[in-house]
Structure 1
Amino acid sequence: MEAERADAVVWRNRALTLFDRVSVPVAVCDVHGEVVLANPAMAAECGTTPGRLRGRQVLELFRPQEATQVERIAEALRLRHRSRYQVSVCWRAPGGAERYGELTADPVSDSVGATPALLVMLRLLGERPGPGPEPAPEPVRTTEVERRVLALLAGGATTARAARELGLSQDGVTYHLRRLTARWGAANRTELIARAYVLGVLTPGVWPPRPSPAEG
């Protein structure tokens, strides 16, 4: 009897060594899908360590793509059927890419009447790129005349004074202001000036106001 126990321990240790070294992502779950044991390959797919996977729900780590598949498996396990079950899943890889593949679950137990555990293996079928960096905002484009109009208004100039200093008619100044207002969606001149500073069109911290050396 003691010899049999010793042999069992030896074979258990060998099985665990093989379990850890196999490159295929593998986990052992209870009948409810809670992870009992996971190998490093499975943990790597989740961006963590095997110990941290223990107690996690496998179908939360790997999202089923068809709910009906999971329902059929749950019913089969309730009836103690011992077929191989497959679920199409997707998950977020540690690098941010969206991966998809297939979970295969095999019920295993020491005896026919015992509640089975699930030996779960993951097969990667493909990957979709993750979200890239936010695109850089387009530079604010204004003409030299528009920037000078904004600088004069920021300094308190009226439309008439801005027109005199720029050699334009009042209608000409109003035309530029209307274009800027429509382009930036400003409600009034106060907001228009505020946006000019926020967008870098006017140089902050100087008086009298003046256009920035270069457009933002």
Structure 2
Amino acid sequence: MDDSTFKALSRTGTPGRYAAFADLVDLAPAAAFIRDSDGCYLWANHAYAHLYGTVPEHVIGKYIEDLDEPAEAEQFRALDQEILSRGTPVRHTLGYRRPDGSAGRAVGHRFPVRENARTCVAGIYVDVTDHLRATVQWQEAEENLQALRDHSGLPCALLSANGRVVEASAAAAELFQVSPHDLVGRRAHTLLAPAPDLDRLHARWNGLISRRTRRVETSAVLVDAHGLQRRAQLHLTSIGHSSGGHASVGHSMSRARHVWAVVTHQSLAHEAHPALTAAQIRILSLLAEGSSNGDIATSLHLSRQTVDYHLSRLRHLLGAATRPALVARAYVLGILAPRAWPPRSATAAHPLSTV
């Protein structure tokens, strides 16, 4: 660096052809400085002075020991001498004390420069303290999430916006009777059994992806590798977002990137059976409530013979020989909601619904 260049950078003389560059470096977020071989600051920009809680005018003309603790000053002097003797740049990580008293970290290079026939040391650093802190927090959050995923015992999976399994817990793989490796990459719709409420589930999924809603509690019939079915209570939560499509000219539409799906309750695995009618489910609800056949007939405005027929048909479909067994099977197969009273269908949209 010749004298005119340095004067332009340090603003101690008439601005030359490097003045625009000097303005840029002076206001750049990267911290930069120039020191002579004695450790005296010849120039520093605002970002470098900010590391010490001051301004460039209070740095220029001072020595390393005037700004840093003795141990750090000794280390910096040794590094300067290494650069001066080697004549080549050195990548360096700088630890420092922030103005608020917290520990800071910057990464950059120190390198030799020429000024007035003298070899000096220049340095440029980027403060990575906040980035490192955010990285650590992200890693901790990832570890906590993985611990919850792997050790909570709940079947859960991370799904992409197009419904593909990105991650899955061991419990989820066990639920579908496959290995976690085989579950990852599967399309979610291949894990669902045909059911009357699939359209409603699809509509709720679209609401999550379009970010009209953030959380959904619903149910679906899952099918494992052996073809056995079970109704599961699902908690779906959208995470992340990306811009895609256009809601209107000049306005982008935000879409969720992923959805966490967590199974909180699941029925007993069973062979597929024909879907029950609304009347049959209502009969099961009243039966679970303790109603007699006559009471059920009166409540539903049916004949006693019709109720008897439905109950006989239900015992056949669900493999239950008695009324108590029929109620028990209705719960373990996920036909009736396990946490509702009065008894109601597990697929009811509202907690007080009976069908």
Q: Which one-letter code corresponds to 2:166 in the other structure?
A: V
Q: Please give the per-residue CA displacement for 1:91-132, whole angstroms capped at 9, x wherever unaligned.
A: 34467643222322111126894633101012444225449x
> Which residue pairs with 1:43 in the alignment?
173
Q: Is the 8 A contact 2:209 2:238 kept in 1?
A: no
Same amino acid, percent of matched pairs: 18
> Which structure 2 segments of 5+ residues have no match?
1-130, 244-253, 273-355
Pick from 193, 199, 216 the counterpart of residue 85 of structure 1: 216
The 5 A counterparts of 1:161-200 are none
Q: Please give the root-mean-square deviation of Cα atoms over the aligned residues, in Å.
A: 2.9
After superposition, residues 130-149 of structure 1 pair within 5 angstroms as: 130=271
Report the structure, 1 or 2, having the larger strand content. 2
1-side partners of 2:215 and 2:194: how far apart?
A: 16
- 5 Å-filtered alignment, 1:22-171, equals 22-63=152-193, 65=195, 66-77=197-208, 79-93=210-224, 97-109=228-240, 113=254, 115-127=256-268, 129-130=270-271
Conservation of the 8 A alpha-carbon contact between 1:88 and 1:101: yes
Give me the whole-angstrom Cα distance separating, in 1, the residues matched to 2:202 and 2:223: 23
Return the offset for 1:15.
Answer: 1.9
The letter of the residue matching 2:154 is V
Contact 2:201/2:220 (<8 A) preserved = no
Q: Which amino acid aligns with 2:169?
A: N
Cα deviation, 1:54-77, whole Å, max 9, x if unaligned, reads 111122113352132133224424
Matched residue pairs, number? 131
What amino acid maps onto 1:67 in structure 2? L
Partner of 1:155: none
Partners of 1:64 and 1:88 within 8 A in 2: no
1:3: Cα distance to partner?
3.2
The TM-score, its normalising length taken from structure 2, stands at: 0.33
> Match for 2:220: what amino acid?
V
Hey, what's the Cα distance between the residues in 1 that align with 2:190 and 2:184?
Answer: 13
**Relative contact order higher in (CA < 8 Å, ≥ 6 apart):** 1
Cα displacement string for residues 168-200 of structure 1 (whole angstroms, at most 9, x for unaligned residues)? xxxxxxxxxxxxxxxxxxxxxxxxxxxxxxxxx
Letter in structure 1 aligned against 2:234: L
Contact 2:208 2:237 in 1 (8 A): no
Query: Which runs of 5 or more structure 1 residues have no equivalent in the other structure?
Result: 132-216
In the alignment, which of 143, 146, 153 is matched to residue 16 of structure 1?
Answer: 146
Counterpart CA distance in 1 for 2:182 and 2:143 is: 21
Q: 1:127, 1:50 → 2: CA distance? A: 21
